[in-house]
Amino acid sequence: MKKRNDVLLQGNEACALGALAAGMRFYAGYPITPSTEIAELLSIELPKVGGIFIQMEDEIASIAAIIGASLAGAKSMTATSGPGFSLMQENLGFAAMAEVPCVVVNVMRGGPSTGMPTRASQGDVMQSRWGTHGDHPAIVLSPGSVLECYTLTVHAFNLSEKYRTPVIVLMDGIMGHMSENIKIPEKLEIINRPKPTVPPIWYRPYDDIPGGEIVPLVPFGEGYRYHVTGLVHDALGFPTLVPDEVNACLKKIIYKIKNNLHDIIRIEKYLLDDADICIVAYGSVARSAREAVNMARQEGIKAGMLRPITLWPFPRFNLEDIGRKVKVFVVPEMNYGQVYGEVLKACHKKVVRVTRVDGELITPDEIMKKIKEVTI
Amino acid sequence: MNGKVNTGSNGSSENKKNKDPVHLFSSWCKKCGICIAICPKKVLERGPEGYPYAARPEDCILCGMCDIHCPDYAITLRKKDKDKDKDEEAEHEEAK
Amino acid sequence: MMRTSETVYKYLRPNKKFPHVWCPGCGIGIVMGALVRAIDKKGLSKDDIVLVSGIGCSGRMSTYLDFNTLHTTHGRALAFAAGIKLARPELTVIVVMGDGDATAIGGNHLIHACRRNIDITALIINNNIYGMTGGQYSPTTPMDKKASTAQYGNIEKPFDICKLVEACGASFVARGTTYRANMLDPLIEKAISRRGFSVVEAMAQCPVQYGRRNIQGGPVDMLQWYRDHAVPVAAFKEIPPGEAGERFPIGVMVDLDEPGYIDRYKEIIKKAGGEV
Ligand SMILES: Cc1ncc(C[n+]2csc(CCOP(=O)(O)OP(=O)(O)O)c2C)c(N)n1
Ligand code: SF4
Ligand code: SF4
Ligand code: SF4
Ligand SMILES: [Mg+2]
């Protein structure tokens, strides 16, 4: 593939190219608007680099296939939208439980159910956190530009390999279909799967190492024969119901994320230093929010924006800090207030929301109107 | 009963040729009775505790039907004396 | 002389507790023995085998055998396996599923795996029932038979798994029973040797959930039922239409050995200018 610099790309295309740059060599998916372009582009590009593209019979099979491919050592990904993301939930939990790295892209569209296939939404924020059953970890990234669709996809693979967990790239339909001129970064950090540090008999794929070190996942076929299951398992991967082992297993998958928030969480602060009003916005809505901040500043209102790039784990501590300085939070989002609820939990200040679920983008004017309401 | 149990001991062990043709790992045996029913020569019978044993070892033709049909891999054919000798020889070699 | 159990011992995980979890007289253990003997006969290295299983009593097999093992979600084993095989075609991928696993919740994956013809061996352990969840009727429970959710008798027409996968394009299809355990090994061995997608349906007794309700007696009676009803394919063809009753054919039904998906995908890579 030619190196593409300074190119006009759609968010979906940038995501696909980012995945290739990260070393993704296995893609399985099922067509669904507004994510399909990712599959289409990868069906062209993956064979060129000797990678595998396969269109599976549904989304359940798609995520199953990428988990399988990852266990065989390939960096792997699938992309979908709402209804398909719902179908993936059981196996997403499997990947979290069995600690298999993989990347799932969900280009959100209007829901629930078939909803509005061609209209954008941010309605899957909570599903991306709690979609699968049981207590489980979640890393969810939200790109706010076409460039970020590229870089965050790379980052998603890095986090996934580093923490041996599925990572979700949560885009919205506007982000996926928006075109921008971007300069493809020449050098980006790429994390590859670490090699095993012990010979096969000493290998304990699910060991809980004090200090939180994560055991490298050795691909099938390299002489390290071990068992992988979605059942609660012991350090060797075998099913267990011994309370101590159950606790260790479940705690580990959650705490490997919780203990590394500083590494995982990324946020963007915009004009927040002296702000009285903090807008919390992500994805395409953050673009309107930035504009609204500029408008407010022109009118002498001290507004700023916090953009969670990592939606989950939610940047609660950053919000707490900001909450000590600002008077009010405004949370615009294309749902009825999914992140709004998280902001409420994180700080004891006034929090207001601007919501839209009709498939249209929230405009800077709408946010500005709310800013004015709260400044009076 | 635990571990390797010599099943032939309950039956007649007169027959020199086929004394104790089968081995039973009683801790793996679930007493399902398949081996007893499948034996073409009716060699096996249920012992007082429900475990199979070779009641007529002299009739055993070493066909392996009991072994292959045991869902628990609990019954296996005893090595022929010839095989045993070979193994012992090999061990002897190793020891050298 | 056959000392088959001793072959099995070589492949059991030393760090697992035995006896295994299956009920006394359960046919799954017999099928596992046949699978192991087939692998042993082929002389494959444990490191090169991936055993993928679904959820159910049969799905528990992956825990016991000393290969690279993956115990997936209910019905999805074939889709996981496809990912493994495509990412590492040099590995031998064997998938063990129950009848419910393979043909109910996983039915869609099964028919598409046949159509795609990826080089995977599917071993479907058919006990005509949902064993693990307590004996509910499955897509292969015969009409009028009883199940915990068909107390008045099953009114759904069952699948003939071999016919189903043949129609969907599987390149090797065979059926055996636990009564003829020694016939299962060569069937499985052939299935592993063939290119493309191979299916072996192993009829295996579930004395606890199926037998108890439908056949008077225990595991032995169930084996005898297989003995009386399983007919080699050639002989089965001689039975006049409509007179087969509960009898069913066993043996190799399809043996095409066609180039599979991976061979075709290599062509795609060439077309795209990539390196295989
Ligand atoms: C998504 C999902 N639905 C239902 C179940 C519950 N369940 C576990 S095993 C099983 C049926 C197993 O039947 P079969 O595949 O025939 O295997 P067997 O136990 O008979 O070997 C069911 C319904 C599950 N684990 N996951
Ligand atoms: S077949 Fe095996 S488990 Fe059953 S009674 Fe015989 S030895 Fe025991
Ligand atoms: S080897 Fe054959 S004859 Fe001997 S006990 Fe077993 S089944 Fe019977
Ligand atoms: S319930 Fe049936 S299939 Fe499951 S272990 Fe028991 S006998 Fe076997
Ligand atoms: Mg079943």
Q: 3-class secondary structure for chain A?
A: CCCCCCEEEEHHHHHHHHHHHHCCCEEEECCCCCCHHHHHHHHHHHHHCCCEEEECCCHHHHHHHHHHHHHCCCCEEEEECHHHHHHHHHHHHHHHHHCCCEEEEEEEEECCCCCEEEEECCCCHHHHHHCCCCCCCCEEECCCCHHHHHHHHHHHHHHHHHHCCEEEEEEEHHHHHCEEEECCCCCCCCCCCCCCCCCHHHCCCCCCCCCCCCCCCCCCCCCCCCEEECCCECCCCCECCCHHHHHHHHHHHHHHHHCCHHHHCCEEEECCCCCCEEEECCCHHHHHHHHHHHHHHHCCCCEEEEEECEEECCCHHHHHHHHHHCCEEEEEECCCCHHHHHHHHHCCCEEEEEECCCCCCCCHHHHHHHHHHHHC
Task: Please give the distance, rounded to the nearest whole angstrom, from the Cα atom of residue B69 to the centre of ligand 2.
Answer: 8
Instruction: Report which DSSP code applies to C216.
Output: S
The strand pairing partners of A106, in sequence order, are A80, A170
d(CA C67, nearest CA chain A) in Å? 6
CATH numeric code, A268-375: 3.40.50.920
pLDDT tens-digit series, residues C175-230: 999 999 999 999 999 999 999 999 999 999 999 999 999 987 899 999 999 999 99
d(CA C103, nearest CA chain A) in Å? 15
d(CA A119, nearest CA chain C) in Å? 30
Contact state of A64 with C72 under an 8 Å Cβ cutoff: yes
Provide the pLDDT for residue B17. 55
Pairing of strands A52-55, A7-10: unpaired
Using the Cβ of A221 and the Cβ atoms of chain C, whether some distance falls under 8 Å is answered with yes
Provide the pLDDT for residue C274. 87
Cβ C96 vs Cβ C59: under 8 Å:
yes
Of A57, A68, A219, the CB nearest to C81: A68
The strand pairing partners of B82, in sequence order, are none
Instruction: Report which DSSP code applies to C108.
Output: H
Decide which of 3.40.50.2000, 3.40.50.970, 3.40.50.11810, 3.30.465.10 is the CATH code for A6-183: 3.40.50.970
Q: Compute the distance between CA of residue A52 and CA of residue C265 in angstroms, rounded to an integer.
A: 8
Using the Cβ of A242 and the Cβ atoms of chain C, whether some distance falls under 8 Å is answered with no
Of A58, A60, A221, the CB nearest to C91: A221
Cβ A22 vs Cβ A77: under 8 Å:
no
Contact state of C87 with A68 under an 8 Å Cβ cutoff: yes
Of A44, A47, A61, the CB nearest to C79: A61
Query: Ligand 1 pocket, C214 CB below 6 A?
Result: no
Global pTM exceeds 0.80: yes
Provide the pLDDT for residue B12. 40
Pairing of strands A7-10, A179-182: antiparallel
Atom of ligand 3 nearest to the CA of B61: 3
- Closest CA in chain B for residue C223: B34
Kindly list the domain boundaries of chain A, sorted by start residue.
6-183, 268-375
pLDDT tens-digit series, residues A155-200: 999 999 999 999 999 999 999 999 999 999 999 999 999 999 999 9
Provide the pLDDT for residue C258. 85
Cβ C8 vs Cβ C61: under 8 Å:
no
Contact state of C88 with A50 under an 8 Å Cβ cutoff: no
pLDDT at C45 over 80: yes
d(CA C91, nearest CA chain A) in Å? 7
Confidence of residue C2 (pLDDT cuts 50, 70, 90): low
Cβ A156 vs Cβ A165: under 8 Å:
no
Provide the pLDDT for residue C153. 97
Average pLDDT over residues A324-344: 97
What are phi and psi for residue A102, nearest 5 degrees? -170, 160
Rounded to the nearest integer, the mean pLDDT of chain B is 76
Same fold across A6-183 and A268-375: yes
Report the candidate in B80, B72, B77 with the shortest Cα–Cα distance to residue B26: B72
d(CA C23, nearest CA chain B) in Å? 8
Q: Which residues contact A152 (CB under 8 A, 6 or more apart)?
A: A18, A141, A142, A143, A169, A309
Report the candidate in A55, A37, A212 with the shortest Cα–Cα distance to residue A107: A37
CATH numeric code, C26-271: 3.40.50.970
Query: Ligand 2 pocket, B74 CB below 6 A?
Result: yes
Confidence of residue A335 (pLDDT cuts 50, 70, 90): very high
Average pLDDT over residues A229-233: 98
For a pocket test of ligand 2, which of B24, B26, B32 has the largest count of ligand atoms closer than 8 A to its C-beta?
B32
Q: Which residues contact C163 (CB under 8 A, 6 or more apart)?
A: none
What are phi and psi for residue A279, nearest 5 degrees? -90, 130
Query: Ligand 2 pocket, B5 CB below 6 A?
Result: no
pLDDT at A3 over 50: yes
Identity of the residue numbered C219: P
Using the Cβ of A223 and the Cβ atoms of chain C, whether some distance falls under 8 Å is answered with yes
Contact state of B73 with C181 under an 8 Å Cβ cutoff: no
Using the Cβ of C21 and the Cβ atoms of chain A, whether some distance falls under 8 Å is answered with no
Confidence of residue A152 (pLDDT cuts 50, 70, 90): very high
> By alpha-carbon position, which residue is closest to atom 4 of ligand 2?
B32
Per the omega criterion (within 30 degrees of 0), is the bond before A101 cis? no
Using the Cβ of A8 and the Cβ atoms of chain C, whether some distance falls under 8 Å is answered with no
Provide the pLDDT for residue C5. 86
Q: Which residues contact A124 (CB under 8 A, 6 or more apart)?
A: A82, A85, A106, A108, A111, A131, A170
For a pocket test of ligand 2, which of B5, B29, B67 has the largest count of ligand atoms closer than 8 A to its C-beta?
B29
Using the Cβ of A97 and the Cβ atoms of chain C, whether some distance falls under 8 Å is answered with no
Of A65, A223, A230, the CB nearest to C73: A230
Q: Compute the distance between CA of residue C189 and CA of residue A39 in angstroms, rounded to an integer.
A: 37
Domains of chain B: 6-95 (3.30.70.20)
Query: Ligand 1 pocket, C55 CB below 6 A?
Result: yes
Provide the pLDDT for residue B85. 46
* CA atoms within 13 Å, Cβ hemisphere of B91: 6
Q: Which residues of chain C does A222 touch, with a Cβ-Cβ cutoff of 8 Å?
A: 47
pLDDT tens-digit series, residues A89-112: 999 999 999 999 999 999 999 999
pLDDT higher at B10 or A18: A18
Kindly list the domain boundaries of chain C, sorted by start residue.
26-271
d(CA B13, nearest CA chain C) in Å? 21
Confidence of residue B79 (pLDDT cuts 50, 70, 90): low
Cβ C64 vs Cβ A238: under 8 Å:
no
Q: Which residues of chain B does C1 touch, with a Cβ-Cβ cutoff of 8 Å?
A: 62, 64, 77, 80, 83
Q: Which residues of chain C does A242 touch, with a Cβ-Cβ cutoff of 8 Å?
A: none
What are phi and psi for residue C138, nearest 5 degrees? -115, 175
Provide the pLDDT for residue C72. 98
pLDDT at A317 over 50: yes
Confidence of residue A5 (pLDDT cuts 50, 70, 90): low
Confidence of residue B13 (pLDDT cuts 50, 70, 90): very low
Residues of C at the B interface (Cβ-Cβ below 8 Å)? 1-6, 8-9, 12, 18-20, 22-30, 33, 178, 181-182, 207, 218-220, 223-224
Atom of ligand 2 nearest to the CA of B32: 4
Query: Ligand 2 pocket, B38 CB below 6 A?
Result: no
Task: Please give the distance, rounded to the nearest whole angstrom, from the Cα atom of residue C73 to the centre of ligand 1.
Answer: 9
Rounded to the nearest integer, the mean pLDDT of chain C is 96
pLDDT at A376 over 50: yes
pLDDT tens-digit series, residues C50-102: 999 999 999 999 999 999 999 999 999 999 999 999 999 999 999 999 999 99
Atom of ligand 4 nearest to the CA of C23: 6
Average pLDDT over residues C264-275: 94
